[in-house]
Amino acid sequence: MLSKIRGSHLGFVPVAVVVILAGSVAGAGAASAGRIAMRHHHGNQGIVTSVNGVATAGTCGTATATGNFTLVGMRRAVVTVDVVSTTTFTDPAVLSPATPSFADVCVGVPAKVLGTFATGTLTAASVAVLPPPMVGTQGIVTSVNGVATTGTCGTATATGNFTLVGMRRAIVTVDVTPATTFTDPAVVSLSLPSFADVCVGVPVKVLGTVASGVLTAASVAILPPPMVGTQGIVTSVNGVATTGTCGTATATGNFTLVGMRRAIVTVDVTPATTFTDPAVVSPSLPSFADVCVGSYVKTLGTVASGVLTAASVAILPPRHLSDGHRNLRGRGQD
């Protein structure tokens, strides 16, 4: 009996092995078929360079028609894509009840394609129209709505355009739309920054999308002007060049100094200008009255239209004067 059981048991083993092997072969065949199928599906993305053979910027397909387009994909390879009746489209910019279609595929638009590849053409199973990449730049505004006069600004509630000199001194044209947002640390609540704060001569930072060489601004940040420093001998105060002429303690005004490379710098003094002078002892406070023709000063401020508006003025002791500046007044006064 035991022998029969063993024989019976052994008799079933080959069958089980055959079943297992058959299942393994079937599974391996399915996996292999899946891998083969996957090999025939290709994905690519890039910028659309032509639609139905037309490369003009903004040219688009037709909603209910088939056709083809080209895009510059990975490694700058030009890919030809066929749109067929079964191609599906997605576009986050198209809102319900509208349906994305071939009409949303336009020259200059970034797209992602999935499909099958044969004889050099990618037949699209799906086309995803992608949002345009955001581009940022910053520089000095050189014109607003075509006017390059210093101080010309945009209008708070209007759209328009401006140019700026950006990186590598490239001139960038920027379009302002109703969707453009503005920030400006100099604008305090309850006021809101706007296109009116974009003025010729003002530094700005722009973020937006580029098409046909124009940057459409999503946001514009007005930047504080860069601080500039210089120092030298005061040569006039409020237009008077007589040695010993000084400013007035409680008044604003201007003075000139001979700075680096013997350049003459005009400095504006405002109510916000601060003064330091080691020769002035407490309880007195240094002021514009300590800026006199012949004194040595160091200024820090912002420059516009060739004038330095002083944030601070430091009156320096004579020992700070360089040989170059001493020569301006004569070696006998060292």
Comparing 14-23, 148-157, 172-181, 242-251, which segment has the lowest mean pLDDT?
Answer: 14-23
SS3 149: coil
SS3 168: helix
For 88-114, what is the mean pLDDT? 94
Domain at 228-333: CATH code:
2.40.50.320
Banded model confidence at residue 139, pLDDT cuts 50, 70, 90: very high
Top CATH class of 135-222 equals: mainly beta
The residue among 113 and 192 whose pLDDT is bigger is 113
Banded model confidence at residue 40, pLDDT cuts 50, 70, 90: low
Res 319: pLDDT:
59
- For the cut 90, the answer to whether the pLDDT of residue 138 exceeds it is yes
SS3 117: strand
What is the H or E stretch that residue 22 is in? Answer: helix 2-39
Tokens describing residue 63: 């909603």
Domain spans of the chain, in order of start: 41-129, 135-222, 228-333
Instruction: Tell me how far apart the alpha carbons of residues 94 and 101 are, in angstroms, rounded to a whole number.
Output: 9
Comparing 33-37, 267-271, 289-293, 308-312, which segment has the lowest mean pLDDT?
Answer: 33-37
Q: Which is nearest to 323 in space by CA: 331, 312, 315, 314?
A: 331
Residues 6+ apart with CB under 8 A from 210: 132, 135, 216
The residue among 93 and 30 whose pLDDT is bigger is 93
Kindly tell me the sign of the dihedral angle through the C-alpha atoms of 293, 294, 300, 305. positive
Domain at 41-129: CATH code:
2.40.50
Banded model confidence at residue 18, pLDDT cuts 50, 70, 90: very low
- Residue corresponding to tokens 């020992």: 319
Whether 135-222 shares its CATH topology with 228-333 is answered yes
Strand ranges, E, within the chain? 41-51, 67-72, 78-83, 88-90, 110-118, 121-129, 135-144, 160-165, 171-176, 181-183, 203-211, 214-222, 228-237, 253-258, 264-269, 274-276, 296-304, 307-316
Res 305: pLDDT:
78
- For the cut 80, the answer to whether the pLDDT of residue 1 exceeds it is no
Chain mean pLDDT for the chain: 85
Of 4-13, 145-154, 255-264, 325-334, highest mean pLDDT:
145-154
Q: Which is nearest to 154 in space by CA: 132, 170, 175?
A: 175
| Cβ pair 291, 247 in contact under 8 A | yes
For 5-31, what is the mean pLDDT? 43
The residue among 261 and 37 whose pLDDT is bigger is 261
Identify the burial level of 5 via C-beta atoms within 10 angstroms of its C-beta, where 0-12 means exposed, 13-18 middle and 19 or more buried: exposed
Instruction: Tell me how far apart the alpha carbons of residues 52 and 195 are, in angstroms, rounded to a whole number.
Output: 40
pLDDT in tens, 174-212: 999 999 999 998 887 778 899 999 999 899 999 999 877
Banded model confidence at residue 326, pLDDT cuts 50, 70, 90: very low
pLDDT in tens, 303-324: 887 899 999 999 998 755 444 4
